[in-house]
């Protein structure tokens, strides 16, 4: 994802341009003041004008220092920067003729920037701020003095009507810009966000296809050694039937269960790869389906403390079993068991629209940054009990129209919330 595609990075780039524009604006105002004083021989209040420009320069330097290395700018911060520009320009206009100053329309510049970059709420706030600022300099300002005479002296009521007309035109311009330009910019942002989501979905689908191809190839290569181990463990079990050491037999049974599970997974991969379809399962109640998932998971987790709770009211909804979803749930349960071997809890709940599955453990929990990254990208490291499984889990559930979220529990451990639409799971 590039900076242009990310809204916060877009504002960071726009802030740098705004600082450049502000520098040009300050330079232009200095030139205008010098020209007015020495060329047009106007009498201007130099001291307050210098204070305003110096304050604006100091604010710009502070902004550059604070946000030079920051690529995440919010709407609030950018709106604050534009508001400072509006207030500074309003103060400058107050001392230089107010609305009679031909540069008064420059108040529309911050508003136009806000209309194209910020959300509708900030656009209307900026419209209100600029309109109020222009209204103030219509009625409250220091008249321009040229050769010892106020430039407004001798102007009749028609000029005042002209100023009022300029005020009406300015306010209408801000409203129209906020409505039409802001609306079009909002539509473009929504379209760009949708395009970005589609690109991410396509990229993820390409990864899944590649993983499916790799998994199918691995299934064929692993089939032979697994078959050999299955035969050998069966022969060892027969030889140990008369042995007195039962612990070895239990371990051997566990190994056989693991091998059978591996063979079942490889067979499923060979048949379906990453093809997630609904018409390949059986219709059953949600409780029956989860019982089959738990039985499959228990094969390799016999000693894990487990609790299965049903919170919804009868009748139980019917679902269609899905091999991809089964693998996803088993993977989540495996991670919970690794984090908390003494306690894993699965809760089933539902309403008219969704099936809710919550899997929790009592482990040490996870850092907020790590929780935010889970399932978004394949992770090759297994140092923390995670891997590519959670990426496939998230992709599988989203393929079924559902969602999955990870969060830390209040006391300890992690809670995984899975929601699946019943309309797609076959009521």
Domain containing residue 309: CATH number: 3.30.565.10
Domain boundary among the residues 226, 252, 272 is at 272
pLDDT at residue 349 above 80?
Answer: yes
Q: How far apart are CA 387 and CA 378, in angstroms?
A: 7
In a domain, 294, yes or no: yes
Contact indicator for 337, 386 with CB cutoff of 8 Å: no
Domain boundary among the residues 174, 202, 230 is at 202
In a domain, 396, yes or no: yes
Q: Are residues 191 and 129 in the same domain?
A: yes
**Cα 177 vs. chain centroid, distance in angstroms?**
29
Least confident of 18-27, 47-56, 93-102, 317-326: 317-326
Least confident of 10-19, 59-68, 188-197, 287-296: 188-197
In a domain, 212, yes or no: no
Residue 375 pLDDT:
73
Q: How far apart are CA 58 and CA 64, in angstroms?
A: 10
Cα-Cα-Cα-Cα torsion 245, 248, 251, 255, nearest 10 degrees, comes to -140
Please report where in the chains the tokens 């201007």 appear, as a residue: 44
Tokens of 80: 């604050």
Q: Number of folded domains in the chain? A: 3
In a domain, 400, yes or no: yes
Cα-Cα-Cα-Cα torsion 110, 112, 116, 122, nearest 10 degrees, comes to 60
In a domain, 213, yes or no: no
Q: What is the mean pLDDT of the chain?
A: 79
Q: Are residues 156 and 186 in the same domain?
A: yes
In a domain, 277, yes or no: no
Q: How far apart are CA 394 and CA 274, in angstroms?
A: 13
Tokens of 394: 């998230």
Q: How far apart are CA 172 and CA 166, in angstroms?
A: 10
Cα-Cα-Cα-Cα torsion 89, 185, 189, 88, nearest 10 degrees, comes to 0
Q: Where are the beta strands (DSSP E) in 279-388?
A: 283-285, 306-310, 318-320, 344-350, 354-361
Q: How far apart are CA 195 and CA 5, in angstroms?
A: 10
Residue 277 pLDDT:
44
- pTM here is 0.50
Q: Convert the pLDDT of each residue in 206-222 to its tens digit.
A: 666 666 666 665 665 66
Least confident of 24-28, 113-117, 239-243, 275-279: 275-279
Q: Are residues 115 and 264 in the same domain?
A: no
Domain boundary among the residues 202, 229, 248 is at 202
Q: How far apart are CA 164 and CA 143, in angstroms?
A: 16
Q: How far apart are CA 134 and CA 153, in angstroms?
A: 22
Classify strands 149-150 and 306-310 as parallel, antiparallel or unpaired: unpaired
Least confident of 109-118, 193-202, 257-266, 376-385: 376-385
Q: Where are the beta strands (DSSP E) in 96-155?
A: 145-146, 149-150
Reported confidence tier of residue 399, pLDDT bands at 50, 70, 90 = confident
Pick from 207, 367, 357: nearest CA to 294: 357
Strand partners, 415: 360, 407
Residue 271 pLDDT:
60
Q: Are residues 133 and 241 in the same domain?
A: no
For CA atoms 127, 27, 75, 79, give the dihedral sign: negative
Per the model's pLDDT, the better-predicted residue between 60 and 395 turns out to be 60
pLDDT over 70 percentage in the chain: 77
Residue 4 pLDDT:
40
pLDDT at residue 148 above 70?
Answer: no
Q: Are residues 397 and 298 in the same domain?
A: yes
Could you tell me where the DSSP H helices lie in 240-367? 246-272, 286-298, 323-339
Q: How far apart are CA 114 and CA 123, in angstroms?
A: 6
Instruction: Give the structural domain span for 356.
Output: 283-425
Q: Are residues 145 and 288 in the same domain?
A: no
**Average pLDDT of span 349-358:** 90
Give the sheet arrangement for strand 354-361, strand by strand.
306-310, 344-350, 354-361, 414-421, 403-408
In a domain, 278, yes or no: no
Reported confidence tier of residue 417, pLDDT bands at 50, 70, 90 = very high
The helix/strand/coil state of 375 is coil
Q: How far apart are CA 307 and CA 343, in angstroms?
A: 8
Q: Are residues 13 and 161 in the same domain?
A: yes
Reported confidence tier of residue 66, pLDDT bands at 50, 70, 90 = confident
Q: Are residues 188 and 307 in the same domain?
A: no
Residue 281 pLDDT:
63
In a domain, 208, yes or no: no
Q: Convert the pLDDT of each residue in 170-219 to its tens digit.
A: 778 788 777 777 777 777 777 777 777 777 777 776 666 666 666 665 66
Tokens of 128: 């209100």
Q: Are residues 264 and 289 in the same domain?
A: no
Q: Are residues 381 and 238 in the same domain?
A: no
Q: Are residues 297 and 164 in the same domain?
A: no
pLDDT at residue 99 above 50?
Answer: yes
Q: Supply the DSSP symbol for 137.
A: H
Q: Are residues 37 and 173 in the same domain?
A: yes
């Amino acid at each position: 994802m590039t900076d242009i595609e990310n809204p916060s990075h877009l504002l960071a780039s726009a802030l740098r341009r705004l600082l450049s524009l502000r520098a040009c604006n300050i330079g232009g105002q200095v030139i205008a003041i010098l020209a007015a004083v020495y060329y047009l021989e106007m009498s201007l209040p130099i001291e307050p004008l210098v204070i305003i420009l110096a304050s604006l320069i100091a604010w710009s330097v502070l902004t550059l220092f604070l946000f030079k290395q920051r690529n995440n700018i919010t709407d609030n911060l950018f709106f604050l920067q534009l508001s400072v520009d509006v207030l500074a320009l309003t103060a400058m206009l107050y001392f230089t003729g107010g609305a009679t100053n031909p540069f008064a329309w420059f108040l529309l510049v911050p508003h136009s920037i806000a209309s194209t970059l910020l959300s509708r709420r900030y656009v209307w706030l900026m419209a209100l701020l600029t309109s109020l600022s222009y209204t103030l300099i219509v009625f409250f300002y220091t008249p321009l003095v040229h050769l010892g005479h106020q430039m407004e002296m001798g102007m009749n009521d028609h000029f005042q009507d002209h100023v009022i007309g300029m005020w009406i035109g300015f306010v209408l311009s801000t409203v129209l810009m906020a409505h039409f330009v802001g609306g079009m910019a909002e539509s473009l942002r929504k379209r760009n966000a949708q395009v970005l989501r589609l690109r991410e979905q396509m990229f993820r689908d390409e990864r899944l296809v590649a993983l499916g191809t790799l998994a199918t190839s691995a299934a064929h290569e692993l089939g032979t050694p697994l078959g050999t181990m299955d035969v050998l463990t069966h022969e060892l079990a027969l030889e140990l039937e008369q042995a007195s050491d039962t612990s070895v037999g239990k371990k051997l049974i566990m190994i056989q269960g693991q091998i059978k599970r591996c063979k079942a997974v490889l067979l499923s991969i060979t048949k379906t790869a990453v093809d997630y379809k609904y018409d390949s399962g059986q219709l059953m109640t949600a409780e029956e389906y989860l019982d089959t998932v738990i039985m499959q998971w228990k094969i390799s987790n016999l000693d894990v403390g487990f609790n299965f709770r049903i919170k919804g009211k009868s009748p139980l909804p019917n679902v269609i079993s899905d091999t991809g979803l089964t693998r996803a749930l088993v993977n989540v349960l495996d991670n919970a068991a690794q984090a908390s071997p003494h306690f894993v809890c699965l809760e089933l709940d539902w309403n008219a629209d969704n099936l809710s599955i919550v899997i929790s453990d009592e482990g040490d929990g996870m850092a907020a940054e790590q929780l935010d990254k889970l399932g978004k990208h394949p992770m090759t490291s297994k140092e923390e009990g995670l891997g590519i499984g959670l990426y496939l889990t998230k992709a599988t559930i989203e393929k079924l129209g559902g969602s999955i979220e990870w969060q830390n529990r209040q006391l300890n451990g992690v809670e995984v919330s899975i929601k699946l639409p019943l309309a797609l799971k076959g009521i």
